[in-house]
């Protein structure tokens, strides 16, 4: 009886190893193909913008409005600082190098569905703010079309589904941007 149990255990173990190896190989080939498609637009931009968006999937990092909050956590980099949910939002903090950071904020409703995405870069200089604002606008134009209008310190864009606001929120000593994306 012990021998039969041991043999079944070995067969089960090796059988599951083979299945895992097969699915891992499948994932690897898919991810290589997807990787090329997921970076067509973002790869044209600065390292700073690439660190914010990571890939072209969704609105940011594979996340779109309407996604479940539980799905968002699995798409974020595990090395990023996560700030636990406050009332209806969850924030990830990422370093952009040179003592610059970005908060990526996901706002969600009672059903834990993402209703708004916030991107708040904290930058060192006004020149960095101007440059990132322009580059982000260009990235969104390439991805969503020429839907943006500049109005003093704000750039606003609307397509049939989304509303974008890119705003220079700098004060004298603290340069910064605030980006908000909501459903229209």
User: Integer distance in angstroms from the first to the last C-alpha of the chain?
Assistant: 66
Residue 62 lies in a domain: yes
Residue 143 lies in a domain: yes
Residue 9 lies in a domain: no
Residue 101 lies in a domain: yes
Output the six-digit token pair for 173. Answer: 């000593």
Q: According to the model, what pLDDT value does residue 88 have? A: 84
How far apart (Å, rounded) are the C-alpha atoms in residues 179 and 133? 9
Least confident of 17-26, 156-165, 175-184: 17-26
Residue 27 lies in a domain: no
Tens-digit pLDDT profile for residues 6-35: 443 343 333 433 333 333 333 333 344 444
Checking phi first, is residue 39 left (phi over 0); if not, alpha (psi -120 to 50) or beta?
alpha
How far apart (Å, rounded) are the C-alpha atoms in residues 24 and 31? 10
Among 46, 65, 61, which Cα is nearest to 139's?
46
Residue 147 lies in a domain: yes
pTM exceeds 0.85: no
Among 176, 180, 175, 178, which Cα is nearest to 158's?
180
Tens-digit pLDDT profile for residues 67-116: 998 888 778 776 777 776 677 888 888 899 888 999 999 999 999 899 99
Number of folded domains that form the chain = 1
Residue 25 lies in a domain: no
Among 95, 124, 93, 92, which Cα is nearest to 106's?
92
Residue 3 lies in a domain: no
Tens-digit pLDDT profile for residues 123-158: 999 999 999 999 999 999 999 999 999 988 899 999
Q: Which domain holds residue 74?
A: 42-183
Among 114, 113, 16, which Cα is nearest to 105's?
114
Torsion sign (Cα): 183, 137, 70, 22: positive
Could you tell me if 152 and 169 are in contact, meaning their C-beta atoms sit under 8 angstroms apart?
no
Q: According to the model, what pLDDT value does residue 23 have? A: 37
Output the six-digit token pair for 151. Answer: 């109005």
């Amino acid at each position: 009886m012990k021998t039969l149990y041991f043999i079944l255990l070995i067969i089960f173990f090796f059988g599951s190893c083979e299945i895992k190896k097969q699915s891992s190989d499948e994932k690897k080939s898919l991810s290589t193909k997807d990787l090329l498609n997921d970076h067509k637009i973002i790869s044209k931009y600065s390292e700073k913008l690439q660190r914010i968006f990571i890939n072209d999937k969704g609105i940011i990092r594979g996340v779109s409005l309407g996604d479940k909050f539980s799905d968002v956590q699995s798409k974020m980099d595990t090395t990023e600082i996560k700030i636990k949910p406050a009332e209806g939002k969850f924030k990830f903090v990422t370093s952009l190098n040179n003592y610059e950071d970005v908060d990526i904020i996901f706002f969600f409703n009672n059903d834990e569905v993402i209703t708004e995405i916030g991107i708040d870069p904290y930058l060192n200089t006004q020149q960095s703010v101007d440059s990132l604002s322009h580059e982000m606008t260009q990235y969104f134009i390439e991805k969503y079309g020429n839907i943006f209008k500049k109005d003093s310190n704000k750039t606003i864009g609307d397509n049939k589904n989304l509303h974008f606001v890119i705003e220079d929120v700098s004060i004298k000593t603290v340069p910064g941007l605030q980006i908000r994306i909501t459903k229209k």
